[in-house]
Amino acid sequence: MIEYTKLQHKKVLVLGLAKSGVAAAELLHQLGAFVTVNDSKPFDENPQAQSLLEKGITVICGRHPEDLLDEGFELLVKNPGIPYTNPIVDDAVKRGVQVITEVELAYLVSDAPIIGITGTNGKTTTTTLIFEMLNRGRKSPLIAGNIGTVACGVAAGATKDNVIVTELSSFQLMGTKEFKPKIAILTNLYDAHLDYHGSFEDYANAKFNITKNQDESDWFIYNADQEIVNEYAAKSKAGKIPFSSNGRSDVGISADDEMIYWQGEAFLERVNIALPGKHNLENILAALAACILYGCEKKALEEVLKTFTGVRHRTQFVREWNGRKIYNDSKATNCLATKVALEAFTQPIILLAGGLDRNHSFEELRASMKNVKSVVAFGQTGERFIEFAKSCGVEEAVLAEDVEDAVTKAASISEDGDVLLLSPACASWDQYKSFEIRGDLFIEAVMKL
């Protein structure tokens, strides 16, 4: 950690704990700031707050006092999930108190260069691929953000010999002021989190913060196949590296059915890439571009692509069983994600789907159901999903009690050459606390076949 002294003796409020709030409070305390933490959970039920109090940090728990900002704070570090409409955040903005997220704090204190990855879809896979490639290329990467350790927790111990690979959400980026990654990646832009941002424009503007402060000494890697992304990319001052999966291009990184090209020259054959799907090809192109720019040898990149079969719960290859290939895509909690997963395969698919009923339509999936030969549905939307599947011409659609029962039923109706795909198109909260738990139970059931 560099000797950052600008926050010494400054009064800083950390609003909301969880992992990011705890890490921010501890780092600010190390930097010599006078830190106050405010969290809604009562103190006697809040071990994180208790731990911070033991370290000498002021803790206010169980409520958000209306006069909290009368203490004269000069900075507010908020949990990314807390909206700007929150009364304390809104009051801070009106008083002229700077409001940031811990990602900004990480950037300020770190001596290590940052590779930042954002976008509606593909962030986690792209981030993980970059980390694995840099690690294989012996570039001393550290992984941070929405996966791994929170950014300021990593930044505190990073040196100039490291590179921090950081997955970034729109919530985090909205709270940045000076943040300036050496390499920034925008995977794609679709409607998302509009309940938080209010409009697609505000959501996209938050995403664009990843390159807002970049200059000619930095690089911006972006999806050239999306017109809206091209429009935002034109505003960036960084060196631009477009990626495209729609055929060979003379600029940036691109791919056709056989080959990946770097600046128009053949670079890698696609035949040895283990990760399936057009959406994953886009993630691979973005990751390759970042690692080429960072000086990774081609051999290291090839070795990772031959063995990388996906991030857990994201079109993750689980096993081959009696001629069937089985994939876990429990992270697919909406129709768009399931649509992308379905389009990744040309083989006959037995789709395991269903979950929390938010009264959302499944119509977005209709055009992508052509390879689905059977559906096993579960959860609150189980019966609705079966009705939808039959309306798409799927002849065999059966109801299961839960994801484990769905595995048993899917296996029993499957044939050699089928793909068994868990891609629920629904959140998990009707039966499971998280999509991770749902996916883990799916894997356990698959391994027992």
Please determine, for residue 233, whether its predicted confidence score (pLDDT) is greater than 60: yes
Are 301 and 382 in the same domain? no
pLDDT digits (tens, 9 = 90+) for 15-68: 998 889 999 999 999 999 999 999 999 999 999 999 999 999 999 999 999 899
Are 266 and 123 in the same domain? yes
Please determine, for residue 193, whether its predicted confidence score (pLDDT) is greater than 80: no
The mean-pLDDT minimum among 29-38, 187-196, 423-432 falls in 187-196
Are 336 and 324 in the same domain? yes
Are 171 and 70 in the same domain? no
pLDDT digits (tens, 9 = 90+) for 359-376: 899 999 999 999 999 999
Are 155 and 131 in the same domain? yes
Known binding positions for ATP: 119-125
Known binding positions: 119-125
Are 302 and 321 in the same domain? no
**pLDDT band per the 50, 70, 90 thresholds, residue 236:** very high
Whether residue 5 is contained in a domain is answered as no
Q: Which residues contact 306 (CB under 8 A, 6 or more apart)?
A: 272, 273, 274
Tokens in use for 237? Answer: 């001052």
Domain of residue 404 covers 316-447
Are 403 and 258 in the same domain? no
Among 70, 100, 130, the domain-final residue is 100
Whether residue 206 is contained in a domain is answered as yes
Are 160 and 299 in the same domain? yes
- Per-residue pLDDT at 272: 87
Count structural domains, the chain.
3
Are 177 and 233 in the same domain? yes
**CATH for 34:** 3.40.50.720
Whether residue 4 is contained in a domain is answered as no
Among 272, 307, 342, the domain-final residue is 307
Alpha helices, DSSP H, located in 252-392: 278-293, 298-307, 335-342, 382-391
Are 324 and 246 in the same domain? no
Q: What is the DSSP letter of 263?
A: T
pLDDT digits (tens, 9 = 90+) for 288-317: 999 999 999 999 999 999 999 888 888 899
- Per-residue pLDDT at 2: 56
- Per-residue pLDDT at 358: 87
Q: Which residues contact 126 (CB under 8 A, 6 or more apart)?
A: 117, 119, 185, 187, 283, 286, 287
Whether residue 1 is contained in a domain is answered as no
- Per-residue pLDDT at 121: 86
Are 23 and 49 in the same domain? yes
The pTM for the full model equals 0.82
